[in-house]
Amino acid sequence: MSETGSPKGQEFEHMLGQSDKRVAQFDDRPKGLVEKLQHMLHGNPTLVPVIVLVAAIVVFGLVAGDRFFSPFNLSLILQQVSIIGILAAAQSLIVLTAGIDLSVAAIMVLMSVIAGNLAVYMGVPPVLALAVAFAGGTGAGLMNGFLVTKVKLPPFITTLGTWSIFYALNLWLSGAQSIRSQDIDKNAPLLKFWGEGFAFFGAKVTYGSLLMIAVFLGLWYMLNKTAWGRHVYAVGDDKEAAELAGIQADRVLLSVYGMAGLVCAIAAWAAIGRVGSISPQSFYEGNLQSITAVVVGGISLFGGRGSILGALFGALIVGVFQSGLRLANVDVLWQVFAIGWLIIIAVAIDQWIRKVSK
Amino acid sequence: MMRKAALLGASVLAFTALAGAASAEVSACLITKTDTNPFFVKMKEGATAKAEEMGIQLSTYAGKIDGDVETQIAAVESCIAGGAKGILITPSDSRALAPVVGQARDAGLLVIALDTPFEPADTADATFATDNFLAGELIGKWAAAKMGDTSGAKIALLDLNPSEVSVDYLRDQGFLTGFGVDVKDPKDIGDEDDPRIVGNDVTNGNEEGGRTAMENLLQKDSGVNVVYTINEPAAAGAYEALKAVGLESQAMIVSVDGGCPGVQNVADGVIGATSMQFPLLMASKGVEAIAAFAADGTKPQNSEGLDFFNTGVTLVTDEPVEGVPSITSEEALHQCWG
């Protein structure tokens, strides 16, 4: 470039001075309001569920009135979503790697049955029973992970299979019979710890609700502030690129499935407190409800995009909708109908936001 | 290897069939929905014991899960081929099994539906089942008598699921009828306009659903004092919800089933009263009916005014009321299933 402009230069070089000197840059023509919004949402994918959550609370507050807005009702919503919420945290981990886990609820129920049988019927100390359940949950998750990474089965098929396997084991172990609340109180009250709580300005806050929030914050920290978390996002976004960058993708995936299994076992403990008894027939659709929370929370099913906190907001949105519709005397049938639309709209918004990068 | 085993199995089957024919022994089949549900386990126990007592050779089959139609069809075919005199079956699908049941009847077998009727009910020769409307009515009457003046009742109804299957509306509407509420359409849950009803919600028949549904209805009206539940697991969940807000002594819970944990909950004061059904009796009566049919061709008759044979329902409570016969939880613990 130093010779540019010299009088001895070639013909075309005279023209160089008049050419566009700008380097590659983004097109910053003035954007419409909608486009600005689209870009903002692309940068902050959790914003949508937060906006929807706040809007839903306001709308149902207006429609259903004081009963909805009471501290007690709001804390009740938190209690009611706590188990699906924790499952949704596990589900988010898998979905961030572009997978899906149909077995989360089955792992949870199986682990609660195992812990219950050991502690209530076989006299094993509750702490030990829970340790077995945690190990079992992690093992079940690792089994999914092994089938996905080593046997190379698609996550959907893998967990479709293990869902049935874990469910069958659960029925076999429990004889399809619940362990009664009174028997747990007598032999292993520790199992029901997360169902207890304290009153707080008219609200009833259970430890289980707090546990759900703690699980989300813990996982959020791991995903965003540790190398492991970066690797999870990288593998989810583009597995091959991550491998080329030196990440051992299969190992990361295996750890993600193991972690999800552990979170399911934590959910199992919380569920005993929440339900009161150990019920092998409960949460049969928990896997689908956890996927709903994840999707409504704006986590992309294509992997690598979205914040795990979105799933928390997703679970809360579903809870707020159900509570609000109920208090507005809407039939159960139409509550199911509304949740269905919520899912479709959430995914449609996600698709629209993704267009920014095209 | 597999083939050899199969051949061996087949020849053993053939041999037992021959042996059966030689000693003129009557054979029968029991086909349940699953082998895991305590209700069906008890049913199998009842049938096996009765068959042994009467010298009937009983083969038992079960689907893998509720809704496993293929396995049940294969089981019916095996029974026809095996020369059974009759089949006792809890159909996993009230309609899908009709053709194969038709084949069995054409082949001269007596087919009795247990617990779950076919659609239409006359697909089988007879149906032995619980009168679910009566089961509801008994707990409704008990609750009303217990309360005395029912004008201040605030009723929460914890039903099964949004599809409103027959067992769901029969128990719900039976309860309301027994309690003295005008049910309007007896096949429709929730069309009542009696102001004493706080609301309906669904439980999926398990503890988690029972708890959530109870919490929801308490949000509508915290004064709920009568709680109807579709089954005992839902009742246990409802109790937990009441206990969490300290209202367990304000409301009485009634239920249906007679499973052992449920009866234990009556003893512990969690459930006020429950209507017990008798899976064991369904099966043993069924075996008797097949024996009678094999002897002289008589077919079982339906109970009067019903399109099935009522195997009975008994109220279980530790607080009996006048005019509603009942047994105590202690007596019931000897008869409960599961």
pLDDT for A315-327, tens place per residue? 999 999 888 888 8
Return the pLDDT at B187. 87
A121 touches B at CB < 8 Å: no
- pTM equals 0.79
Per-residue pLDDT of B143-183, as tens digits, reads 999 999 999 999 999 998 887 777 889 999 999 999 999 99
Whether A2 has a pLDDT exceeding 70, the answer reads no
Q: Is residue B98 located within the same domain as residue B243?
A: no
Return the pLDDT at A357. 60
Q: Is residue B287 located within the same domain as residue B161?
A: no
Pick from A172, A204, A281: CB nearest B233: A281
Cβ–Cβ gap B205/A281 under 8 Å = yes
Nearest CA in chain B to A324: B216
Indicate the average pLDDT of chain B: 88
With bands split at pLDDT 50, 70 and 90, how would you rate the model's confidence at A70?
A: confident
* Nearest-neighbour CA in chain A from B188: distance (Å): 13
Cβ–Cβ gap A180/B209 under 8 Å = no
A178 touches B at CB < 8 Å: yes
Return the pLDDT at A302. 86
Per-residue pLDDT of A242-301, as tens digits, reads 999 999 999 999 999 999 999 999 999 999 999 989 988 888 889 999 999 999 998 988
Give me the total of CB pairs closer than 8 Å, taking one residue from chain A and one from chain B: 95
Pick from A171, A275, A323: CB nearest B207: A275
Query: What's A143's DSSP letter?
Result: H
Asked if B82 contacts B21 with a C-beta cutoff of 8 angstroms, the reply is no
Return the pLDDT at B17. 45
Per-residue pLDDT of A4-34, as tens digits, reads 445 556 776 677 677 776 666 666 666 778 8
Return the pLDDT at B14. 47
Residue B338 lies in a domain: no
Q: Is residue B160 located within the same domain as residue B236?
A: yes
Residue B308 lies in a domain: no
Return the pLDDT at B7. 47
Asked if B238 contacts B229 with a C-beta cutoff of 8 angstroms, the reply is yes
Return the pLDDT at A358. 52
Structure tokens at A353: 């936001």
Cβ neighbours of residue B8 under 8 Å, at least 6 residues apart? none
Q: Is residue B159 located within the same domain as residue B27?
A: no
User: How many domains does the structure of chain B reveal?
Assistant: 2
Residue-number span of the structural domain to which B171 is assigned: 132-277+313-333
Cβ–Cβ gap B268/A182 under 8 Å = yes
Residue B229 lies in a domain: yes
Return the pLDDT at A327. 81
Q: Is residue B223 located within the same domain as residue B96?
A: no
With bands split at pLDDT 50, 70 and 90, how would you rate the model's confidence at B20?
A: very low
**What does the alpha-carbon distance between residue A304 and residue A345 come to, in Å, rounded to a whole number?**
20
Asked if A194 contacts A131 with a C-beta cutoff of 8 angstroms, the reply is no
Q: Is residue B73 located within the same domain as residue B180?
A: no
Return the pLDDT at B13. 47
Nearest CA in chain B to A64: B220
ipTM: 0.76
With bands split at pLDDT 50, 70 and 90, how would you rate the model's confidence at A62?
A: confident
Whether A49 has a pLDDT exceeding 80, the answer reads yes
Strand ranges, E, within chain A: 197-200, 203-206
Cβ–Cβ gap B245/A175 under 8 Å = no
CATH code for the domain of B50: 3.40.50.2300
Nearest CA in chain A to B64: A168
Q: Is residue B94 located within the same domain as residue B164?
A: no
Q: What angle do CA A28, A310, A303 make, to 5 degrees?
A: 70
Q: Is residue B137 located within the same domain as residue B249?
A: yes
Residue B6 lies in a domain: no
Domains and CATH numbers, chain A: 46-353 (1.10.3470)
Return the pLDDT at A68. 84
Residue B305 lies in a domain: no
Q: Is residue B159 located within the same domain as residue B35?
A: no
Cβ neighbours of residue A330 under 8 Å, at least 6 residues apart? A338
Contact residues on chain A for B233, CB-CB shorter than 8 A: 178, 277, 279, 281
**What does the alpha-carbon distance between residue B57 and residue B49 come to, in Å, rounded to a whole number?**
11
Cβ–Cβ gap A283/B208 under 8 Å = yes
